[in-house]
């Protein structure tokens, strides 16, 4: 006997989305120029996918269809070839098809992947990272966003194994569209129907959010600084640059013009980002201040050395004495200086703390006069410097949000959404008064 788990909220989110098509059956979604790879897996709902191809075409998408072996038991590839106007892809090991458009090329071609219907079997294979046919291989090989439209018998849908698989995919950012409720092909009534083609077209639009920062110039700092002691030694810190580079990449993807002033790191420049390499805090300060004209948002993610050696030696210091003392002087505070220019951009600071995270971050935000601060723990086994994951406590005057631990790449996207929203609020006339 089965035990039935509660359907996790994330799995059913689509039900609460307002439909974006008009009552006369036309979608108001615009997918002009978008290249959609439609995966059709084995299920009776596969017959609806031919209509889905037509609906996607109506809103301007170019569609290529990949069918699993199971899908071909329900609908013939010729049907999809006729409605999509493109050859249908069915096999990973077909030299002729590979010669025309290989599976890696196909994975790169797609702006978005939709699997409709997504059977319990294909969901399980995706959740486990299998690549045992063309469709699952493409899903592993693509960097495009993936959506699934589950379709199966209600008992199969509510089985804990299926729900665990769907939850796993949702956690990996796969968008789950549906399923819907109602009469099922097997004669039962319940949850597990594939959403109607128009609902899927509208749901797919969620994969391509309008760039939120188009037209803005975002200036960032990232990485550590190095403060010379002599020509071969320096004072620095553990910053890898990962957090700042992730934020820069997310800003570029959001449509902003992005300038990234970075200390020495071993990271590849994200696409669409202008990179300025510096070493010391003084150089970083100069590079930032020179680029403030037309800057809308400044994000200080760099771990800038607060002090530098007063007089770095010209030659390598010899170890003649048992000990030595270095005289340190304060470096300029880049963030505070940006926040105090006559017409400052929207300023976002980071706070790296080993104790009293929130109190110290708030103190920094007020002292430096910045609009928003993102605080993270450092010096702990998880998060902060060097790690792939991080968590942030983001606060501004009158507001606070905790962003849970996740890969810095995903955290950066969430942080930028907050920054974008607060930036837009800051452009309203009563911003200062409300704050």
Instruction: Report DSSP state, residue 315.
Output: S
Residue 263 in contact with ligand PMT, rule: CB under 6 A: no
Task: State in angstroms the smallest separation of the CB of 276 from ligand PMT.
Answer: 15
Task: State in angstroms the smallest separation of the CB of 347 from ligand PMT.
Answer: 9
List Cβ<8 Å contacts ≥24 apart for 207-210.
Answer: 207/112, 207/145, 207/147, 207/175, 208/31, 208/34, 208/111, 208/112, 208/145
Task: State in angstroms the smallest separation of the CB of 344 from ligand PMT.
Answer: 13
Phi, psi of 192 (to 5 degrees): 150, -5
Question: In sequence order, which residues have a C-beta less than 8 Å from that of residue 111 and are 6 or more positions away?
Answer: 34, 35, 36, 144, 208
Nearest CB to ligand PMT, comparing residues 149 and 288: 288
From 301, 339, 413, 418, residue interacting with ligand PMT (rule: CB under 6 A): 301
Residue 415 C-beta-side C-alpha neighbours within 13 Å: 36
Residue 49 in contact with ligand PMT, rule: CB under 6 A: no
Nearest CB to ligand PMT, comparing residues 45 and 411: 411
Instruction: Report DSSP state, residue 19.
Output: P
Asked whether the beta carbons of 169 and 139 are under 8 A apart, the reply is no
Per-residue interface string for the shown chain with ligand PMT, residues 400-419, x marking contact by CB under 6 A: --------------------
Q: CB-based burial of residue 48 (10 Å sphere; 0-12 exposed, 13-18 middle, 19+ buried)?
A: buried
Task: State in angstroms the smallest separation of the CB of 301 from ligand PMT.
Answer: 5
Residue 331 in contact with ligand PMT, rule: CB under 6 A: yes
From 194, 300, 309, 372, residue interacting with ligand PMT (rule: CB under 6 A): 300
Q: What tokens appear for 197 in the block?
A: 């083609």
CA 364 to chain centre: 28
Count other C-beta atoms under 10 Å from residue 125's C-beta.
20
- Look at residues 183, 172, 163 and name the one whose alpha carbon lies nearest to residue 123: 163
Nearest CB to ligand PMT, comparing residues 165 and 331: 331
- Span from 59-67, 115-123, 135-143, 302-310 in contact with ligand PMT (CB under 6 A): 302-310
How many angstroms separate the CA atoms of 39 and 177, rounded? 14
- The terminus-to-terminus CA distance of the chain in angstroms comes to 58
Residue 270 in contact with ligand PMT, rule: CB under 6 A: no
Task: State in angstroms the smallest separation of the CB of 311 from ligand PMT.
Answer: 19
Nearest CB to ligand PMT, comparing residues 164 and 282: 282
DSSP string, 257-276: EEEEEE-S---PPPTTEEEE
Residue 376 in contact with ligand PMT, rule: CB under 6 A: yes
Residue 175 in contact with ligand PMT, rule: CB under 6 A: no
For the segment 204-243, give every residue that binds ligand PMT (CB under 6 A): 221, 239-243
How many angstroms separate the CA atoms of 304 and 57, rounded? 51
Task: State in angstroms the smallest separation of the CB of 242 from ligand PMT.
Answer: 4
Q: What tokens appear for 390 in the block?
A: 């991080």
From 71, 152, 169, 351, residue interacting with ligand PMT (rule: CB under 6 A): 351
Nearest CB to ligand PMT, comparing residues 197 and 241: 241
How many angstroms separate the CA atoms of 254 and 236, rounded? 32
Nearest CB to ligand PMT, comparing residues 14 and 385: 385
295 is catalytic: no
Residue 303 in contact with ligand PMT, rule: CB under 6 A: yes
Nearest CB to ligand PMT, comparing residues 257 and 285: 285
- Look at residues 246, 251, 259 and name the one whose alpha carbon lies nearest to residue 211: 251
Query: How many residues bind ligand PMT, per CB under 6 A?
Result: 28
Question: In sequence order, which residues have a C-beta less than 8 Å from that of residue 298 and are 6 or more positions away?
Answer: 218, 219, 220, 288, 292, 335, 338, 344, 345, 346, 347, 348
Task: State in angstroms the smallest separation of the CB of 50 from ligand PMT.
Answer: 48
- Span from 147-155, 172-180, 205-213, 295-303 in contact with ligand PMT (CB under 6 A): 295-303
Nearest CB to ligand PMT, comparing residues 19 and 380: 380
Q: From the candidates 10, 186, 295, 301, give the one annotated as an active-site residue.
A: 186
Task: State in angstroms the smallest separation of the CB of 333 from ligand PMT.
Answer: 4
DSSP string, 240-263: -SHHHHHHHHHHHHTT-EEEEEE-
Residues engaged in binding ligand PMT (CB under 6 A)? 221, 239-244, 281, 300-304, 306, 331, 333-335, 349-352, 364, 376, 378, 384-386
> Annotated catalytic sites, by residue?
186
């Amino acid at each position: 006997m089965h035990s039935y788990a509660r359907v996790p909220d994330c799995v059913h989110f689509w039900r609460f989305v307002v439909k974006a098509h008009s009552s006369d059956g036309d979608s108001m979604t615009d997918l002009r120029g978008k290249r959609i790879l439609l995966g059709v897996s084995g299920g009776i709902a596969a017959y609806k996918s031919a209509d889905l191809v037509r609906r996607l075409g109506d809103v301007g998408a170019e569609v290529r269809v990949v069918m699993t072996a199971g899908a071909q038991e329900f609908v013939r590839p010729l049907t999809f070839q006729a409605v999509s106007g493109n050859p249908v892809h069915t096999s990973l090991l077909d030299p002729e098809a590979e010669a025309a458009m290989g599976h890696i090329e196909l994975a790169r071609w797609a702006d978005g992947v939709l699997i409709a219907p997504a059977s319990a079997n294909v969901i399980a294979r995706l959740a486990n990272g299998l690549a045992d046919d063309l469709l699952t291989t493409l899903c592993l090989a693509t960097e495009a966003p993936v959506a699934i439209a589950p379709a199966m018998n209600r008992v199969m849908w509510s089985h804990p194994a299926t729900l665990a698989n769907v939850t796993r995919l949702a956690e990996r950012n796969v968008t789950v569209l549906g399923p819907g409720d109602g009469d099922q092909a097997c004669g039962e009534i319940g949850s597990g129907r594939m959403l109607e083609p128009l609902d899927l077209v509208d749901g797919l639009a969620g994969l391509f959010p309008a760039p939120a920062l188009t037209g803005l110039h975002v200036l960032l700092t990232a990485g550590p600084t190095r403060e010379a002691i002599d020509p071969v030694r320096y004072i620095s810190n553990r910053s890898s640059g990962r957090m700042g580079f992730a934020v820069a990449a997310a800003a570029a993807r959001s449509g902003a013009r992005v300038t990234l002033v970075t200390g020495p790191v071993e990271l590849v420049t994200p696409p669409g980002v202008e990179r300025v390499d510096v070493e010391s805090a003084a150089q970083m300060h100069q590079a930032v201040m020179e680029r403030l004209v037309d800057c809308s948002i400044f994000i200080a993610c760099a771990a800038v050395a607060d002090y530098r050696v007063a007089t770095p030696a010209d030659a390598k210091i010899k170890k003649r004495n048992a000990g030595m003392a270095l005289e340190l002087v304060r470096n300029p505070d880049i963030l505070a200086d940006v926040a105090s220019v006559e017409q400052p951009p929207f300023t976002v600071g980071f706070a790296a703390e080993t104790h009293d995270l929130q109190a110290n971050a708030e103190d920094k935000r007020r002292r430096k006069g910045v609009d928003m601060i993102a605080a993270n723990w450092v010096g702990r086994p998880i998060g902060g410097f060097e790690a792939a994951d991080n968590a942030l406590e983001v606060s501004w005057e009158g507001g606070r949000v905790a962003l849970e631990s996740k890969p810095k790449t995903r955290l950066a996207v969430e942080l930028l959404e907050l920054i974008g929203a607060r930036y837009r609020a800051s452009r309203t006339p009563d911003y200062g008064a409300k704050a």
